[in-house]
Amino acid sequence: MDTKDEKYHLRTLQLALNGLGRVAPNPMVGSVIVLDNKIIGEGYHQHFGGPHAEVNAIASVKDEKLLRKATLYVNLEPCAHYGKTPPCAELIIKKQIPNVVIGQLDPFPAVSGKGLQMLIDAGINAVVGEHVDQCRFLNRRFLTFHEKKRPFFILKWAQTIDGFIDIVRNHNSPQAPNWITDEHTRILVHKWRSEEQAILIGTNTALFDNPRLNTRDFYGKNPIRLVLDRQLRLPKTLHVFDKSVKTFIFTEKQKKSEENLEYIQIDFSKLLYELSTFCYERQIQSVIVEGGARLLNTFIQQNLWDEARVFIGNTSFGKGIAAPSMNSMPVSSENLPNSMLKIWHKHPAAFNIDK
């Protein structure tokens, strides 16, 4: 891929990222149409069920006749099947676009290789680009889901400067979180929640923090709530039972489900396997795990995580519940107003895309 191709390829990634949190379980896709080294059209997949990136890009070109001499860039292979929308490969052929540069092939079985072959069979000069790492990083949730048959797991927690995630609490403790960071960090966390399909917490986090697990401090959809309650000991007065958001309670007991509140009976000796299988069957591609320490440590010990986002606040507890420990160096560290944010990627891509 030469320099000009790379420029347009990067633009497709920038456009695609606009769909974060809005297109799942579809992938994020952006498309650019170029003629004589000038962008004449661009678009991205804006929401699940809506037109795909190529459709929006083609529709943005004012003079359709220009398409017959143009090059279409797209970060993911154009679809070749009928889903909620007609095949994009078919539209590209119909519009007689002679050149197509594809960032990477689509691992989804209904598409994989078929879109590319459809274009080639129609006489279009279609090639797959060289910067696959960039495309994979962008759609890491979608790819993990289809390649590993499980959701993309993001671990998130805040810890004090002396290494504690919480104080030791009991049933007489107030049902509220012990804040380690500030309201600015909370807004960022709510933004993160809006970008993922589900959020997972353990029993003690639900009991002692009484979290809402929503995006009230940021514009965006609320994630599906996943809550562990092995012995059904959580009181129904907690926010997670308010039915305001689709909620699944995982338990070993039998209990009748209600509207927006479903009880899932699982084997807790195979907890992470059961959670992964459930999410795969329900088409949940990404889960942000927000605690507590025991649950986070289980993911780390079983090496079932993809990203970790850790805030280190400017406060101390002196004693309490030790924060989880990552066994590798973070890929990035960022100083925030009242904390430091450290990020881990289990499989860092060669290219990172800022959120």
| Catalytically active residues, by annotation | 54
Whether 53 and 31 have beta carbons less than 8 Å apart is answered as yes
Q: Between the CA of residue 98 and those of 55, 64, 106, what are the distances in Å?
A: 16, 13, 21
Peptide bond between residue 41 and the one before it cis (omega within 30 degrees of 0): no
What six digits make up the tokens of 128? 């797959």
What six digits make up the tokens of 97? 């676009």
What six digits make up the tokens of 298? 């289980």
Place of tokens 């154009």: 78
Q: Look up residue 316 and give its amino acid.
A: S
Among candidate residues 136, 124, 32, 39, the one with its CA nearest the CA of residue 115: 124
Residue 248 is given by DSSP the state: E
Backbone angles phi, psi at 191, to 5 degrees: -65, -45
Backbone angles phi, psi at 213, to 5 degrees: 60, 35
* Helix, strand, coil percent content, the chain, rounded in steps of 5: 30, 25, 45
Backbone angles phi, psi at 21, to 5 degrees: 80, 0
Question: In the beta sheet, which residues pair with residue 88?
Answer: none
Whether 80 and 118 have beta carbons less than 8 Å apart is answered as yes
Among candidate residues 110, 147, 150, the one with its CA nearest the CA of residue 284: 150
**How many beta carbons lie within 10 A of that of residue 225, not counting itself?**
26
What six digits make up the tokens of 196? 């993922």
